[in-house]
Structure 1
Amino acid sequence: MKLVVLGGGESGVGTAILGKKKGYDVFVSDFGIIKENYKEVLTINKITWEEQQHTESLILDADVVMKSPGIPEKAPIVKKLLALNIPVISEIEFAFPFTNAKTIGITGSNGKTTTTLLTYHLLKQGGLNVGLAGNIGKSFAWQVAENNHDVYVLELSSFQLDGIVNYRPDIAVITNLSPDHLDRYAYDYNLYIASKFRITKNQIETDYLITDHDDVEINKWFQKNKTNAKIFTFSIQQELEEGEYIEDKNFKSNINNDLFTMPMNELALEGKHNLKNAMAATAVAQLMKVRKQTIRESLSNFQGAEHRLEKVLKIQNVQYINDSKATNVNATFFALDSMNTPTVWIVGGVDKGNDYDELMSLVREKVKGIVCLGVDNEKLFKTFNGVVDVMIETTSMSEAVKIAQKMAEKGDSVLLSPCCASFDLFENYEDRGRQFKNAVHNL
């Protein structure tokens, strides 16, 4: 059996290692440059690879192809593979048959990283032998090849879900839905939503789906579609007989007639969206039979995800906050909504079809100045010029932070919440967040 891996990054190299271990003839092809450490791993494992090209004669005779999530369906090589009816799958789909471990699949437009990290934290503190993979941590396939975890918590993007055929999580979580990555879905929001719901398509009666009771799009989907899984929902708007809700400033989680209660002010994570993330993670922990005392302690001592509303420093009584992971409008909405002080907002990057009008009321209420950080800021200017007192364009992070410092007064906050992808000026959102933190430390 010949396995071709397109993309020599974390998921690609992990898949290659697992494929080799399971007796496949493996070939890795990357149209870009493969990082040195990955080249070493491939070479040590005697896996053939190429970079900066796709040699069609070596790719088109594959029995199965694992495509890295970053490669779009419309890439010429992918189109050719599909025309030849060669299966093109994701890393998750490839690795799934090779493990007997339970998997918890977590997706959604926002909050999935925090929910994944928090779920992993709860299960690990609960004494389970658990791995963390998907969009974060070491690749799932790599861990299946080398470790023997009983449970995996997987953060799954819509791109990873597009490449599944048989993958079936024991517990699936959909945190919420809002328009994102529409450039990859022909600007059709329904295609993106369908992609997210693929997480539950193979689930059976003994599986669980945990999702947001308050989410309009999720509710719409359930009016027309169904799942075989048992559903639990969480809400911050109404009390639920079953599932999770708020009552008298207490967070209550009633899962399979087992009630867990905790005062909201004891949760480590702040903000409404994080309350929902905590609800989703708690439901998973209860289903996995983690002790209530452990859940309570873990929810109160959890350190949040880097680049997600991360408090960096207070300088001259101005709080600098790194929310570089906010790459869409909905994520930035959460960030602005959680601000309790006048805010200087650093925003901009590669626009994925954003509608900034949704932020208008929050910007009027909370934002005193905007620093645009991107190559093309025209849309931001059109939307917010005249809404805030000051709006300035910059093309470097250090300049953006210095300008923000000048705009901010004692008691204000400076918030990097870009609302956009980072590829115009940075390698990725992590690079953008690190540059922001360095710039703040250099003030």
Structure 2
Amino acid sequence: MVGLGRSGLGAAKLLNEQGANVVVFEQSNGPSLEALSKELNNQGIDVKLGVSLELKSFEPWLSNLKSVVTSPAIAWDHCTLNALRNKGIEIESEISLAWKALKHIPWIGVTGTNGKTTVTHMLHHVLNSNQINTAMGGNVGIPASQIALDSIRSSRTEPNWLVMELSSYQLETSPNISPKIGIWTTLTPDHLERHGSLENYSDIKKRLLENSSIRIYNLDDHFLKNARSKLMEGIWVSTNGAAINNNQADFWITSKGKLYEKGEEILDTTLLNIPGRHNLQNLLLVTAAAREIGLSPRDIEQAIASFKGVPHRLEKIANIKGIEIFNDSKATNYEAAKIGLEAVPSPTIVIAGGQSKKGNPNDWLQALNKKACAVVLFGASANTLFDLIRDSKFSGPVNCFPSLNDAIETVFNLAFEEKAKSILLSPACASFDQYKDYEERGNEFKKIINQWLILNS
């Protein structure tokens, strides 16, 4: 097993439970990893810390090595993995390992550039609220391998359904995953530094839908709408009414907020408690899946009314003197950050920055010019974003800081000076320059806001 993150840990434990002799390579070191290593060694899992992903690291085991399992962060075409393949050694991923252990349970595979986390959480909530035993994991929450391990060890009844968020990194390594229901939320340029081109990126997503028994697509998404004739037949949803330029939807929302299924009104979308048009798209995708599973409109409506949203995705964390504060740390690309901007009250103070990713910033910049009264930047990409924003002729203040903590006083000063209606952390960047993931970044932001409230109460 290469990598001792959440998915690597789950995979190592699952393999050990299945009777394999497991050796784990982890490049990092430190007290917490040493403690974890000791715990795993006591369970019969051999952990090697401070080991780089090089062919020579595998030499002591090559004669008996059956397979190498990788975590999603490791490029599937890494030169060392290719060298191992050339020696006849099977390379597989954590998610493919979990698929083999769990494929007897029907999967709902959720993929897309943006929206997949909210759809996964919302659908999980709807099913469990209606006493349909459903587990959730994959790219969000619990690693799929951990769900498989829990299923083996537990005496409880197995889940009826698995709702799995599946990223392009995971799907790239797992061509055999074949869900009962596949959901494609959106597609915009992302992870191109890994996949090379938008075509490669979209083909990875497309394969999941082709492998699915039932396919659900978002007709509002520009890419999916234009690609409809090339996609396998499925269920299409839209917030723009029954048809867009002769593209018929199966589920749609009217201008009055009523949700229709093939001509019959079934839901009132005003029951949804999370903001933004994109969340109406998410609601449609969830409703279509729930109807395929057999839930009634009334079942779905009651569950939706109690859904509170997803941490770090337009999460409202405070209201200070009429200024609403949102944690949108999950917005790790320009498109997600644009969607967040469109959903919050304006004018808004936008906080952005982190590790920049390839992509077209134009729509995000247009949204900034329309909705933001000031921008505060932090992290590794602050200067790059500053130049982009200034070149877009943004007229408000733009400030750069090393970190979120350094920026917060200026954020509040600008909010009061500019009479902002909201403050929005929506980074448009990955978190890896300063944090282990977007969750740690979002939690840090919430902590900083709470500390400011205490000091200024």
- Kindly indicate whether residue 120 of structure 2 is the aligned counterpart of residue 116 of structure 1: yes
Give structure 1 regions of 4+ aligned residues with deviation exceeding 6 angstroms: none
- Which deviates further from its counterpart, 313-322 or 167-176? 313-322
- Which deviates further from its counterpart, 57-66 or 349-358? 57-66
- Which deviates further from its counterpart, 317-326 or 76-85? 76-85
- Which deviates further from its counterpart, 14-23 or 148-157? 14-23
Aligned to 1:71: 74
- Kindly indicate whether residue 259 of structure 2 is the aligned counterpart of residue 244 of structure 1: no
C-alpha deviation, 1:28, in angstroms: 1.8
C-alpha deviation, 1:321, in angstroms: 1.1
Aligned to 1:39: 37
Contact 1:262 1:296 in 2 (8 A): yes
C-alpha deviation, 1:102, in angstroms: 0.7
Contact 2:110 2:164 in 1 (8 A): yes
1:184 to 184, 194, 199: 194
Matches for 1:214-229 after TM superposition, within 5 Å? 214-224=220-230, 226-227=231-232
* One-letter amino acid of the structure 2 residue matched with residue 171 of structure 1: I
Contact 1:357 1:383 in 2 (8 A): no
Contact 1:9 1:35 in 2 (8 A): no
C-alpha deviation, 1:258, in angstroms: 9.9
* One-letter amino acid of the structure 1 residue matched with residue 69 of structure 2: M
Aligned to 2:234: 231
Aligned to 1:82: 85
C-alpha deviation, 1:327, in angstroms: 0.3
- Kindly indicate whether residue 338 of structure 2 is the aligned counterpart of residue 333 of structure 1: yes
1:339/1:169 CA distance change after superposition, 3 Å: same
- Kindly indicate whether residue 149 of structure 2 is the aligned counterpart of residue 133 of structure 1: no
Aligned to 2:48: 50
C-alpha deviation, 1:243, in angstroms: 2.0
Contact 1:373 1:395 in 2 (8 A): yes
C-alpha deviation, 1:18, in angstroms: 2.1
The separation in 1 between residues aligned to 2:320 and 2:302, in whole angstroms, is 32
- Kindly indicate whether residue 263 of structure 2 is the aligned counterpart of residue 263 of structure 1: no
Aligned to 2:370: 365
The separation in 2 between residues aligned to 1:299 and 1:411, in whole angstroms, is 31
Aligned to 2:402: 395
Contact 1:350 1:422 in 2 (8 A): yes
- Which deviates further from its counterpart, 295-304 or 284-293? 284-293
Contact 1:214 1:235 in 2 (8 A): yes
C-alpha deviation, 1:326, in angstroms: 0.4
Aligned to 1:286: 291
C-alpha deviation, 1:36, in angstroms: 5.7
- Kindly indicate whether residue 65 of structure 2 is the aligned counterpart of residue 62 of structure 1: yes
- Which deviates further from its counterpart, 316-325 or 117-126? 316-325
Q: Which runs of 5+ in 1 are unaligned?
A: none
What SS class does the counterpart of residue 78 from structure 1 fall into?
helix
TM value normalised by structure 1 = 0.91
Q: Which runs of 5+ in 2 are unaligned?
A: 152-157, 453-457
Contact 1:180 1:352 in 2 (8 A): yes
CA deviations over 1:103-157 (Å, ceiling 9, x no partner): 1111111111111000100111111121111012222122222222221110110
Aligned to 2:154: none
What SS class does the counterpart of residue 380 from structure 2 fall into?
coil
Contact 1:211 1:232 in 2 (8 A): yes
Matches for 1:310-329 after TM superposition, within 5 Å? 310-329=315-334
What SS class does the counterpart of residue 89 from structure 1 fall into?
strand
C-alpha deviation, 1:178, in angstroms: 0.8
What SS class does the counterpart of residue 267 from structure 2 fall into?
strand
The separation in 1 between residues aligned to 2:363 and 2:161, in whole angstroms, is 39
Aligned length: 430
C-alpha deviation, 1:176, in angstroms: 0.3
Contact 1:8 1:38 in 2 (8 A): no
Contact 1:88 1:163 in 2 (8 A): no
Percent of aligned pairs sharing the same letter: 29
Aligned to 1:437: 446
The separation in 1 between residues aligned to 2:150 and 2:340, in whole angstroms, is 38
Aligned to 1:162: 172
What SS class does the counterpart of residue 284 from structure 1 fall into?
helix
Aligned to 1:194: 203
Matches for 1:1-12 after TM superposition, within 5 Å? 5-12=1-8
Aligned to 2:105: 101
1:376 to 376, 381, 389: 381
* One-letter amino acid of the structure 2 residue matched with residue 119 of structure 1: L
Matches for 1:418-437 after TM superposition, within 5 Å? 418-437=427-446
The separation in 2 between residues aligned to 1:420 and 1:258, in whole angstroms, is 41
Contact 1:126 1:291 in 2 (8 A): no
The separation in 2 between residues aligned to 1:414 and 1:323, in whole angstroms, is 10
